[in-house]
Structure 1
Amino acid sequence: MPATSSRWRSKASARCATMLRDILLRQFPKLVDVPPHTEAIGGAVRDILLGATPLDVDVECDDPLGCASALGKVITLGRGDLTVYRVVVDGRVYDFSRKTDLSRRDFTINAIAVDLTSGDMRDPFDGEQDIGRRVVRMIHARNLEDDPLRMLRAVRLAIRFDFTIDDATATAIRRRSGRIVTVAAERVTYELHAIFSAGKFRRALRLLNEAALDEPLFGYSIDPSRFPSDDLSLAAAYALLVRDPRSFAERWRWSDALQRDVRTLQQLMRDPNLIALYDAGEKLARQLPLRAEMPDFSMKPLLNGTEIATLTKLPPGPQLGAIKRALIEAQLRGSVRTREEAERFVTSSA
């Protein structure tokens, strides 16, 4: 990745812009025959400048449906001026839309366009230089008002690329942070999931707190210093942050599986005994923050239910189930290690 802005300024030459176009066409070969004045814009251009390999590209042209139809089966997303025509070919995603004013985009690093025929590059807001400076900078505060989700996206971009959010942008976000709750729940959840899946939990909390987005989203001001862990799973991150997972899940449209995992982890955090961890299963239990001791998840009960019933002469029911569970817990603690010890344990427990 680039280390200095001077290196990036040198890329502004026509030769380097043409090289950028050639890289785009290698990554997305279906764009070779697009009509004149068709431009790649946004994330794919940004990612290539960062040295990454994009798997999707936004393309703007005069006839987006015609361009998309020439590539393959079209999926229509959105409506009106915001309609996007998507085509997926060989694992690459091509999104076609009508040309828009670059000044309407969210951040300068996403407002760079490359003509796929001439190779000319448009960068009216110095987005290339901001990539070199490793800065997320808004184009205009009104763009945050047009789509308040962009405030949360600024945090995601800063987390993903290890960028900073420039002061003016951070101030503009703080002043409008309460509007994040007006955005469709699914869109907010997508951004939050991406933020908390990046393995940079404490930095994410700091950025959310500095942007004043924590209180409208989570209902309180988060103190990042309270959370020493960093590389957490998505469920573990939410388990630490969300005070009422049931209502939070309903508000932000979580999946049933995520809600279940978060609630289970919170219960384990309150009562982290070995039998509870064993019941939760290895995959979930190992997501538990700050938990050093783990049960042996490969352990099998030394006696099954039928054998315990024979030894104790108990009928199926709660008492038999309690003895079986007590045996498992004794095995986890290490106080019962052999079949003979297990038999003595259950007969003495009957």
Structure 2
Amino acid sequence: MQFLENLPFNLDLLPKPVYVVGGAVRDALLGRVRAELDLDLVVPTGAVDLARKLATEYRAGFVLLDPERQIARVVFPGMTVDIAQQDGESINNDLARRDYTLNAIAYDIQTRMTVDPFCGTQDIHQRTIRMLSRDNLIDDPLRLLRAYRQGAQLNFAIEVQTRQAIRELVPLLTNVAAERVLAELRYLLLTSNSSQWLAAMVADELLIGWLELPIGADFAAKLSQFDRACELVRQHYPALDRELDRPLRDTIAISRRAIGRFMLLLSSDLQIATTQMLRLTFSSAEIQVASTVITYLPQLLSKPMSLTEQYFWFQAVDNNFPLSIVLAIAAGVELLSLAPLIDRYLDPQDLVAHPTPLVNGRELVEFLKIPPSPTIGKLLTEIQLARINGEISTPSEALEFARELLRVMN
């Protein structure tokens, strides 16, 4: 198995038996290469002690994840290893408690044999997500969402009886911690075919309890329009398209494209939409993206903006411009009518989209001989507006403009 190559620890330090379970085994059977390898190990006893031993031996990080269930994490450079105590008297008993057959496969590191009591390998080859039992889904209702997320990530189909059971158990999802629900949603939203699976989740009503509002019957059509708008932008403005996939922050992997898809689930009312995102524990940065776009998108959907209106609009939307453009196109605005704004945004020298100061506040204070105050900020804004409207173009003209404006204001 590929995951046994280049391990950051010596296998001789592990007890016998020890099993690799979860995604590493599944991906190896699929022939998928993982950029970052994480291992999940199961041992009959002493899981936490083993994790501490490895962390001490290799000066790696140690995290106690669940003292009651005996689960700990060892953080090596480039790899995370979770070690859990076997649930039940045997590895077969442990695997029987898992969610889906494709995740109920173990690999014995010592014997190099696969343990597959529920035909998970067969389901992997048939690209099928099949539950082990209805009770296993009830034990942890987050597993309902996981079927759709893994369907999106692996391009698998959910088996008919499994999907029917999920539909029947949907009310249990509101008992799951919001942070866990959001983690599954983020994983799904970042997949290349997230629209298909988001539409499936909505059709099966998995999110109604969390959003507390009925989702429109036209949601699938909205997703299709969003994706077509993304493709149109990709074809004509690849630089804009790349910005859509840029992570929101170094610590937040989700992109604005992903947030845009999720926004199609939200109310168009800013206050209600904010409440919906807070309920799911979205970060303030993610909520800021949605609230900015909800607030300023209507200006793209109405009559053309004046230069002054464009200036303030660009300042307000900032890096959310690409997402605003995609949502405007999805709402029916022609790309051609948005082209002048896009050209401004993509031109770093454009003074409407990317203003640069002719003078700064300190220079105004010295020239006008007035103390620092909010008036300085107002004067700087008026100087920028006068510049984009062609009234001034040099620092000296800006200072004289400010002097005259201050005289009028006084």
Question: Could you say which residue in structure 2 is the equivalent of 1:30?
Answer: 9
Q: Distance in 1 between matches of 2:299 and 2:33?
A: 44
Q: State whether structure 2 residue 226 is matched by structure 1 residue 229.
A: yes
Q: Assess, with a 3 A threshold, how the Cα gap between structure 1 residues 331 and 129 changes in structure 2: closer, same or farther.
A: farther
Q: Distance in 2 between matches of 1:69 and 1:91?
A: 18
The 10-residue stretch of structure 1 (54-63 or 203-212) with the greater mean CA deviation from structure 2? 203-212
Residues 271-290 of structure 1 deviation map (CA, whole Å, 9 limit, x = unaligned): 34533442236433333333
| Mapped contact 2:296–2:317 kept (Cα < 8 A) | no
Residues 196-222 of structure 1 deviation map (CA, whole Å, 9 limit, x = unaligned): 233544224212123321322322225
Q: Distance in 2 between matches of 1:132 and 1:329?
A: 63
- Structure 2 gaps of 5+ residues are 57-61, 88-93, 231-243, 245-255, 301-308, 329-337
Give the paired residue count.
327
Shift of 1:255: 2.1
Q: State whether structure 2 residue 330 is matched by structure 1 residue 290.
A: no
The 10-residue stretch of structure 1 (279-288 or 135-144) with the greater mean CA deviation from structure 2? 279-288
Residues 103-124 of structure 1 deviation map (CA, whole Å, 9 limit, x = unaligned): 1111111111000000111112
Shift of 1:95: 0.9
Question: Could you say which residue in structure 2 is the equivalent of 1:46?
Answer: 26
3-state SS of paired residue (2:54): coil
Question: Could you say which residue in structure 1 is the equivalent of 2:356?
Answer: 300
The 10-residue stretch of structure 1 (199-208 or 90-99) with the greater mean CA deviation from structure 2? 199-208
Q: State whether structure 2 residue 49 is matched by structure 1 residue 60.
A: no
In the alignment, residue 74 of structure 2 is paired with which amino acid? V
Question: Could you say which residue in structure 1 is the equivalent of 2:172?
Answer: 179
Question: Could you say which residue in structure 2 is the equivalent of 1:92?
Answer: 79
- Structure 1 gaps of 5+ residues are 1-19
Q: State whether structure 2 residue 54 is matched by structure 1 residue 71.
A: yes
Q: Distance in 2 between matches of 1:304 and 1:157?
A: 53
The two structures, once aligned, show a CA RMSD in angstroms of 3.2
Q: Assess, with a 3 A threshold, how the Cα gap between structure 1 residues 305 and 88 changes in structure 2: closer, same or farther.
A: closer
% same residue: 29
3-state SS of paired residue (2:81): strand
Greater RCO, CA 8 A, separation 6+: 1
Question: Could you say which residue in structure 2 is the equivalent of 1:146?
Answer: 139
Shift of 1:132: 2.0
Q: Assess, with a 3 A threshold, how the Cα gap between structure 1 residues 179 and 119 changes in structure 2: closer, same or farther.
A: same
Question: Could you say which residue in structure 2 is the equivalent of 1:338?
Answer: 393
Question: Could you say which residue in structure 1 is the equivalent of 2:150?
Answer: 157
In the alignment, residue 45 of structure 1 is paired with which amino acid? V
Q: Assess, with a 3 A threshold, how the Cα gap between structure 1 residues 337 and 102 changes in structure 2: closer, same or farther.
A: farther
Q: How does 1:190-205 map to 2 (within 5 A)?
A: 190-205=183-198
Q: Distance in 1 between matches of 2:53 and 2:371?
A: 71
Q: Assess, with a 3 A threshold, how the Cα gap between structure 1 residues 300 and 201 changes in structure 2: closer, same or farther.
A: farther
The correspondence for 1:262, drawn from 290, 299, 309, is 290
The 10-residue stretch of structure 1 (146-155 or 246-255) with the greater mean CA deviation from structure 2? 246-255
In the alignment, residue 215 of structure 2 is paired with which amino acid? S
3-state SS of paired residue (1:175): helix
Q: Assess, with a 3 A threshold, how the Cα gap between structure 1 residues 311 and 198 changes in structure 2: closer, same or farther.
A: farther
What's the TM-score, normalizing by structure 1?
Answer: 0.80
Q: Assess, with a 3 A threshold, how the Cα gap between structure 1 residues 48 and 301 changes in structure 2: closer, same or farther.
A: same
What's the TM-score, normalizing by structure 2?
Answer: 0.69
